[in-house]
């Protein structure tokens, strides 16, 4: 096992390739960028995971979303969710 860091963009939707079974540990602001840390087994095959970033006060449908973390950045508060795999 290792802990990997992934850059999170400030966009509504994004996809990140991570080893199968990766466990997200935290999302935080580091040096002005959103970063996600995950426990991974790098020998596992890569899967594409889809994430949503939703700002406080914005409307959204939470069907099929799993809450991951909340992080502050430059006066904004972002709430990160993962979409269910289809």
Q: Are 22 and 43 in contact (CB under 8 A)?
A: no
pLDDT category, 7, cuts 50, 70, 90? very high
**E strand map for the chain:** 2-8, 13-19, 23-30, 33-40, 46-55, 65-73, 76-83
Closest CA to 48 of 76, 20, 9, 80: 20
The confidence score (pLDDT) of residue 71 equals 95
- For CA atoms 4, 9, 11, 17, give the dihedral sign: negative
Q: What is the pLDDT of residues 32-64, one digit of tens each?
A: 999 999 999 999 999 999 999 999 999 999 999
pLDDT at 10: 86
Predicted model pTM: 0.90
Contact criterion met (CB below 8 Å) for 26 and 70: no
């Amino acid at each position: 096992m290792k802990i990997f860091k992934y850059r999170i963009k400030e966009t509504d939707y994004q996809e990140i390739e991570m080893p199968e079974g990766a466990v997200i540990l935290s999302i935080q602001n580091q040096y002005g960028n959103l970063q996600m840390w995950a426990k991974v087994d790098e020998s596992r095959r890569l899967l594409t995971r889809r994430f949503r970033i939703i700002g406080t006060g914005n409307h959204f449908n939470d069907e099929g979303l799993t809450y991951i973390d909340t992080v502050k950045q430059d006066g904004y508060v972002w709430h990160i969710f993962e979409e269910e795999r289809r």
